[in-house]
């Protein structure tokens, strides 16, 4: 029953916050004006600037910010207990994360859709603009590399999700053309697409999982008996060839690629997709895909909530019996970081995430058609992401406690039993999944995502959904979230590179194709970093995940700083945003310093790449803070220089928008 009460209490808190604190921000602080001219209409080009109904832009915004962050972060943080993770998610999303996203969206909209880095140049000074853009550049490079690998790992470990995720792309393009060029409605085709996607999940689970498989060859291996020194009889063994083959269901296609592992193959394909998604008009792929995905994701979340409710009422999902509220330090895995300050960078998305300011100011601000929609799009999306993080916390605790299972060689799943043949449930099941006898580094991406997939599918099983199909639904949910973040991040990185190109007066960087090519190439290069000497490409890119957490949260602190200066120059109240700014500057900085200390002391040799990236990003952040501190006393009540007047009106200003 505790599981259900925690869920209901959290959801109720989010609803109340939206209609009280969120409304206060909209009316008393930001003074949203439904009659104000917005960038999507001022600069309409039907590529990046496109006036969009709030239901559609909400789908894009929510699915873009809710990548694997609110899944991976809480799945790790429950090591410290479910209570600290829950409190940070609920209170953080209401008073910090949603304020951060809301402020970034409004400030960008009132500066013609400029990114948060561009706006920093006018609100603070030109040096801050360049420094901010460099931080954005490094942060987005990490996002592209890590999220590309995240999806590749999901595809490798849950091939039943591949068909549905890729099928969404051509369906979305057809819907986008129908809605934008033919003036049709998005809702009807989106619902039809939803049935197709869930049908594709069923087909992927039962008949057509799609995968890249590592190829092997039979070789004769000789060995020596260590005890006697005598040669043993040679035997045949399977050895990897360094190639992968493409497989549809049980059919192996006559296509082999010289990739060292399946993750590399999927990552390269994903980067090609990202290039296309970045340069295509938002109405053709990004908007309709995110709109369809939002419905698919909402259905999956509704199923999870329904399963959670039934499991909570029946007592099969018992939060307190599965996981301690606060885990003692002695029970944590070896080398696990301290809860303070690492909880606040481990759970980013779901509580507060700097990446969100890039979505708010990079894509969403260019599509909102009415300033009054900003609260629904930004504040509402962040609270919904907080609700998702609550579900993840419960799935990775009470859900995992409903039973541990393993995957058989034929693709089916079986529940794990003890020596007496009884199913392993409760605290024993959770401990088996979160084995504290392993070192902290042994908890890789597969285990983190796997905890949510297993716990979530256990919830779905309580409402009659077969375990195998439930795993397909949850794996597709995770992959879709990550995919929407990945392609949005590519477009955002393109904007940042173009802005850097303009600042540095480098014309090739100002071209959208050249900028996108650089973004994708750098993301792929970082993703392909090997884990060490003799290790294959694609095995070490996820080493950057610890760096991403701190960098991401430092970015949130800097975005808060821009909002603080925006309000300070207008003599508005700032305490409600100043305190979160200080917290989001100090906590990640402290965590990054502690991480850098550990990277220097790492065995057998220091992790110089991580240390170098960390030192560079920390140095840029300190520089920006100093610039802001020096300017602070001089600008209260003094408005920044106005934007130059528009030289011409877009010829598409009167073009109709989709009827949603």
pLDDT tens across 187-237, in order? 888 889 889 999 999 999 888 888 887 777 776 666 665 556 666 677 766
| Nearest in space to 495 (alpha carbons), one of 191, 48, 129 | 48
Cα 499 to its chain centre, rounded Å, is 24
What is the Cα–Cα distance from 659 to 181, expressed in whole angstroms?
A: 11
Cα 197 to its chain centre, rounded Å, is 21
Asked if the model's pLDDT at residue 649 lies above 60, the reply is no
Provide the 10 A C-beta neighbour count for residue 444. 12
Mean pLDDT of the chain: 85
Q: If pLDDT is split at 50, 70 and 90, which confidence band does 128 have? A: confident
For 287, residues 6+ apart whose C-beta sits below 8 A from its C-beta are: 50, 52, 56, 57, 59, 60, 176, 367
Winning range, highest mean pLDDT, from 95-99, 213-217, 598-602, 645-649 = 95-99
Q: If pLDDT is split at 50, 70 and 90, which confidence band does 541 have? A: low
Q: If pLDDT is split at 50, 70 and 90, which confidence band does 46 have? A: confident
Q: Which residue has the tokens 């920390």?
A: 618
For the chain, how are helix, strand and coil distributed in percent, rounded to 5? 65, 5, 25
Asked if the model's pLDDT at residue 650 lies above 60, the reply is no
Q: Report the run of H or E that residue 452 belongs to, with start and end.
A: helix 445-461
DSSP letter string over 22-49? Answer: HHHIIIIIS---TTS--HHHHT--SSS-
The string of pLDDT tens digits covering residues 471-524 is 999 988 888 878 888 888 898 899 889 888 887 888 878 888 999 999 999 999
Query: Cα–Cα distances in Å, from 131 out to 134, 135, 221, 597?
Result: 5, 6, 56, 24
**pLDDT at site 196:** 92
Percentage of the chain modeled with pLDDT above 70: 89
Q: Burial, 349: exposed, middle or buried (Cβ in 10 Å; 0-12, 13-18, 19+)?
A: buried
| Mean per-residue pLDDT, 270-279 | 91
Asked if the model's pLDDT at residue 532 lies above 70, the reply is no
Give yes or no for a cis peptide into 525 (omega within 30° of 0).
no
Winning range, highest mean pLDDT, from 67-71, 239-243, 245-249, 593-597 = 593-597
**Residue 30 vs residue 614, higher pLDDT:** 30
What is the Cα–Cα distance from 28 to 30, expressed in whole angstroms?
A: 6
What is the Cα–Cα distance from 293 to 67, expressed in whole angstroms?
A: 12
Cα three-residue angle 356-384-52, rounded to 5 degrees: 65
Point out which residues pair with 439 in neighbouring strands: 334
**pLDDT at site 607:** 80
What is the Cα–Cα distance from 325 to 2, expressed in whole angstroms?
A: 12
Asked if the model's pLDDT at residue 660 lies above 60, the reply is no
**pLDDT at site 506:** 82
For 25, residues 6+ apart whose C-beta sits below 8 A from its C-beta are: 99, 102, 375, 379
Percentage of the chain modeled with pLDDT above 90: 37
**Cβ atoms of 366 and 57 closer than 8 Å:** no
* SS3 labels along 347-375: CCCCCCCCHHHHHHHHCHHHCECCHHHHH
What is the Cα–Cα distance from 628 to 129, expressed in whole angstroms?
A: 11
Boundaries of every domain in the chain: 2-207+264-525+534-634
| Nearest in space to 102 (alpha carbons), one of 377, 388, 384 | 377
**pLDDT at site 580:** 96
Cα 22 to its chain centre, rounded Å, is 23
What is the Cα–Cα distance from 512 to 585, expressed in whole angstroms?
A: 32
What is the Cα–Cα distance from 295 to 300, expressed in whole angstroms?
A: 9
Asked if the model's pLDDT at residue 537 lies above 80, the reply is no
What is the Cα–Cα distance from 99 to 411, expressed in whole angstroms?
A: 44
**pLDDT at site 38:** 95
For 633, residues 6+ apart whose C-beta sits below 8 A from its C-beta are: none
**Residue 248 vs residue 34, higher pLDDT:** 34
**pLDDT at site 659:** 34
Asked if the model's pLDDT at residue 652 lies above 80, the reply is no
The string of pLDDT tens digits covering residues 348-394 is 889 999 989 989 998 899 999 999 999 999 999 999 999 999 999 99
Lowest mean pLDDT among 422-431, 434-443, 589-598: 434-443
pTM over 0.75: yes
Q: Which residue has the tokens 């999220």?
A: 147
Lowest mean pLDDT among 499-503, 575-579, 646-650: 646-650
Provide the 10 A C-beta neighbour count for residue 646. 10
**Residue 253 vs residue 514, higher pLDDT:** 514
Asked if the model's pLDDT at residue 300 lies above 50, the reply is yes
Asked if the model's pLDDT at residue 103 lies above 90, the reply is yes
| Mean per-residue pLDDT, 257-281 | 85
**Residue 503 vs residue 563, higher pLDDT:** 563
The string of pLDDT tens digits covering residues 357-366 is 989 998 899 9
Cα three-residue angle 162-257-494, rounded to 5 degrees: 65
């Amino acid at each position: 029953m505790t599981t259900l009460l925690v869920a209901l209490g959290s959801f109720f808190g989010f609803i109340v916050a939206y209609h009280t604190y969120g409304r206060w921000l909209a009316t008393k602080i930001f003074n949203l004006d439904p009659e104000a001219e917005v960038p999507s209409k001022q600069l309409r080009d039907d590529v990046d600037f496109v006036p969009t109904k709030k239901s559609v832009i909400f789908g894009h915004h929510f699915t873009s910010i809710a990548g694997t962050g609110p899944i991976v972060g809480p799945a790790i943080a429950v090591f410290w207990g479910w209570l600290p993770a829950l409190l940070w998610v609920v209170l953080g999303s209401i008073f910090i994360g949603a304020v951060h996203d809301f402020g970034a969206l409004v400030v960008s909209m009132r500066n013609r859709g400029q990114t948060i880095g561009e706006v920093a140049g006018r609100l603070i000074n030109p040096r801050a603009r360049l420094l901010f853009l460099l931080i954005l550049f490094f942060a987005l490079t990490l996002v592209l590399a890590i999220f590309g690998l995240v999806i590749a790992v999901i595809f490798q470990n849950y091939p039943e999700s591949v068909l549905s995720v890729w099928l969404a792309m051509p369906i979305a393009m057809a819907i986008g053309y129908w809605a934008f060029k033919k003036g049709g409605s998005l809702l009807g085709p989106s619902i039809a697409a939803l049935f197709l996607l869930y049908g594709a999940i069923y087909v992927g689970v039962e008949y057509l999982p799609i995968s890249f498989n590592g190829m092997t060859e039979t070789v004769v291996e000789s060995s020596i008996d260590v005890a006697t020194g005598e040669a043993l009889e040679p035997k045949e063994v399977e050895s990897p060839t360094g190639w992968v083959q493409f497989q549809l269901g049980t059919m192996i296609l006559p296509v082999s690629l010289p990739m060292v592992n399946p993750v590399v193959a999927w990552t390269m394909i994903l980067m090609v997709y990202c290039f296309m998604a970045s340069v295509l008009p938002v109405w053709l792929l990004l908007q309709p895909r995110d709109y369809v995905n939002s419905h698919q994701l909402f259905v999956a979340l509704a199923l999870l909530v329904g399963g959670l409710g039934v499991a909570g009422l029946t007592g099969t999902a018992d939060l307190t019996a599965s996981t301690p509220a606060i885990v003692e330090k002695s029970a944590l895995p070896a080398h696990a970081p301290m809860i303070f300050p690492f909880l606040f960078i481990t759970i980013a998305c779901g509580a507060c995430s700097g990446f969100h300011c890039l979505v708010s100011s990079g894509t969403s601000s260019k599509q909102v058609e009415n300033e009054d929609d900003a609260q629904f799009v930004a504040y509402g999306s962040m609270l919904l992401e907080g609700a998702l993080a609550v579900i993840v916390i419960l799935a990775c605790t009470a859900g995992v406690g409903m039973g541990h299972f393993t995957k058989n060689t034929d693709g089916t799943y079986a529940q794990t039993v003890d020596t007496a043949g009884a199913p392993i449930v409760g605290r024993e099941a959770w401990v088996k999944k979160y084995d504290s006898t392993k070192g902290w580094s042994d908890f890789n991406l597969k285990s983190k995502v796997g905890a949510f997939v297993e716990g979530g599918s256990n919830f779905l099983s309580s409402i009659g959904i077969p375990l195998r199909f439930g795993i397909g639904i949850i794996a597709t949910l995770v992959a879709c979230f990550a995919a929407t973040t990945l392609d949005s991040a590519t477009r955002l990185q393109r904007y940042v590179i173009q802005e850097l190109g303009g600042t540095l007066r480098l014309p090739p960087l100002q071209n959208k194709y050249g900028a996108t090519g650089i973004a994708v190439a750098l993301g792929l290069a970082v993703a392909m970093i090997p884990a060490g000497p003799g290790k294959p490409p694609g095995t070490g890119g996820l080493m950057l995940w610890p760096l991403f957490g701190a960098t991401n949260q430092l970015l949130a602190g800097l975005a808060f700083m821009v909002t603080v200066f925006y309000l300070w120059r207008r003599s508005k109240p700032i305490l409600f945003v100043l305190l979160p700014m200080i917290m989001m500057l100090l906590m990640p900085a402290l965590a990054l310093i502690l991480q850098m200390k550990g990277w220097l002391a790492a065995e057998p040799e220091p992790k110089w790449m991580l240390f170098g990236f960390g030192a560079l990003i920390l140095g840029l952040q300190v520089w920006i803070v100093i610039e802001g501190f020096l300017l602070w006393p001089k600008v209260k009540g003094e408005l920044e220089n106005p934007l130059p007047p528009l030289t011409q009106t877009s010829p598409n200003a009167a073009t109709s928008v989709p009827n949603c």
